A and B are shown apart, each in its own frame.
Chain A
C-alpha cells in the first residue's frame, strides 16, 4: 500500500532539491550554449590549432560516460587548486558535457544554411564574424531550437548523476529521504514526477515558441536543406 502521508511530509524537502536541480541546469545551459557556439565556430575555424582543440573537446565529452566526466571534475579540479563546492563543480561538468552536444547541434544548423548566404554576406564586405552574426546565426536559430530543447531535456535527466558527488539536488534528496523512510516507491515516484513535470513544461513552452517563430516568418524560409532537418528534429 502507498503511504500517502509520506508525500505530504517530504514534499517540502524534495522541492528544495528540485529547486537546486533547476538552478544547476539553468546555470549549466547559460554557460553551455555560449560555450557550444564557441566550440562550433572553433571547429569550423581556419586556424588548425583552434579547430583541433575544439574538435578534441567535443569528441572527448561526447564519447565518454557523463558519470566519469563528473568524477574527473570532482577529483581533478581541486588537485589543480580549484576548490569549488560540489554544486559549482556539478554546474561546470554539466555545462561542459552539454556544450559538446550543443556545439554539434549548432554546427549542423550552420551547415544547413545555404552556402550562398555566406557568399552574399562576404561579398558585400562583412567579416566572417559579421556574416555569422547578421546572416548565418539568425537563420540557424529556428533550425536549432528543437534539437537544443531536446538536449536540454537530456541535461535535466543527466543532472541526477550529480548526486554521486554529494550535490543535494533532487535525486540526492530522494536518496536521503528514502534512507530515512525506507519507502522507496513513494519517494522515487515523487522524484520521477517532478523531473517529468519540469521536462514537460519546458517542452511545451519551447513548442509554443517554435510555432510562434514559424508563424512570424513563413516556414521553410531557411531553404530546402533545413526543412528535412527540421522535420527530423522536432521536439519530442
Chain B
C-alpha cells in the first residue's frame, strides 16, 4: 500500500489551557519506521495516544488502511466502538512504564488478550505466546510473576504481549526511558529485529543513535507541532531551526554527563 497506510489529519488537542497537539498531520507508509523526538511536554505521548484514539483529539481524524480509527466530528456508535477495538488490536502499544499486568504471570500476560480480544482458543494462544516469548528471550520465565522481572524483561514482555495480537503497526512511547542504562540494549535488540522484519513503527525515544541508524524518518516536535521532519541523519547533523539546535545541544550535554 502507498502513503495512506496510516493517515493523521489535522489533529488538535488541548488540556485545560495547554495545547498538546496543534494541527498535526502525518502520512505513514507501510513498513516505515518513524522516530519522534522533542522536549518533555511537547505532545509526543499525546500524538501516539491519538493514533489509537486512547486520547481522542478535539479535532481531526485518524485512518488506518482506509478504516476510520476515530473522528472528532462524530460520537462513536456502538458499531464504530467495536471497530475501534479491532483496530486497536492491530496497533500494538508499548509504554514507558511497561504496564504489564502484575496479577497474571508472564505466559498469561501474553495469552489473555489473545483469548479475550482475538478470540483464539487456548491451545493456539499458548503456542503463539510461547513462540513470541522465545523471540524476546523470555522462554525461561513463563511462570514468573512480572514483579520478579527486571525492567528490561518487563518491557520485552510488554512487547511480546503486543506482538501476539499480530499488529500491523507498533506505537512505542519511550520504550527504554525507564530502564537502567545497562538494560537498554536488550530491548533495543528486540526493536531492531522488528525493524528488520518490516514492521511499521512510530517510536518516541531519546536514543538518537538508534534513531539515525534505523529510522526512515525523524520528526522533531515542539509545542504540539511538528517543527522539522526528514531523514534522521540529515536532521540530526544539519538541524534547520533554532529550537532543534537548542534541543540537540541540551540532549548532548545530558548524555555527555552519563
Contacts and interface: CB of A to CB of B under 8 A. Distances in A.
B95 interface: yes
A125 B145 contact: no
Contacts of A220: 147
A139 interface: yes
Most chain B CB atoms below 10 A, which of A124, A134, A139, A221: A124
A126 B54 CA distance: 12
A135 B162 CA distance: 15
B52 A217 contact: no
Nearest to B81: A127
A119 B100 CA distance: 11
B147 A120 contact: no
A128 to B, nearest CB: 9
A117 B116 contact: no
Contacts of B162: 124
Interface stretch (B60-68, B85-93, B183-191, B222-230): B85-93
B138 interface: no
Counting contact residues on chain A (CB < 8 A from B), the size range is 20 to 34
Given A135-B101, A221-B102, A125 B88 contact: yes
Interface string B54-89: 100000000000000000000000000100011111
A221 B117 contact: no
A77 B52 CA distance: 49
B112 interface: yes
Interface in A188-225: 217-218, 220-223
A166 interface: no
B4 to A, nearest CB: 22
Contacts of B52: 123
Interface in B126-152: 145-148
B145 A120 contact: no
A117 B54 contact: no
B142 to A, nearest CB: 16
Contacts of A44: none
A223 B102 CA distance: 9
B158 interface: yes
B146 to A, nearest CB: 8
B95 A124 contact: no
A12 interface: no
Given A116-B95, A119-B95, A125-B117, A222 B88 contact: no
A124 B93 contact: yes
B97 interface: yes
A124 B102 contact: no
Nearest to A117: B99
Contacts of B165: 124-125
Given A120-B93, A126-B117, A218 B145 contact: yes
A235 B85 CA distance: 40
A138 interface: yes
B103 interface: yes
13 contacts: A120-B101, A123-B88, A124-B117, A124-B162, A124-B165, A125-B165, A126-B113, A130-B116, A138-B103, A139-B101, A217-B145, A217-B147, A218-B148
Given A125-B88, A221-B102, A223-B102, 15 more contacts: A114-B97, A119-B54, A119-B95, A119-B99, A120-B99, A123-B54, A125-B85, A125-B113, A125-B117, A126-B116, A126-B117, A134-B116, A138-B103, A139-B102, A221-B145
Interface of B: 52, 54, 81, 85-89, 91-93, 95, 97, 99-103, 112-113, 116-118, 145-148, 158, 161-162, 165
Interface of A: 114, 116-117, 119-127, 130, 134-135, 138-139, 217-218, 220-223
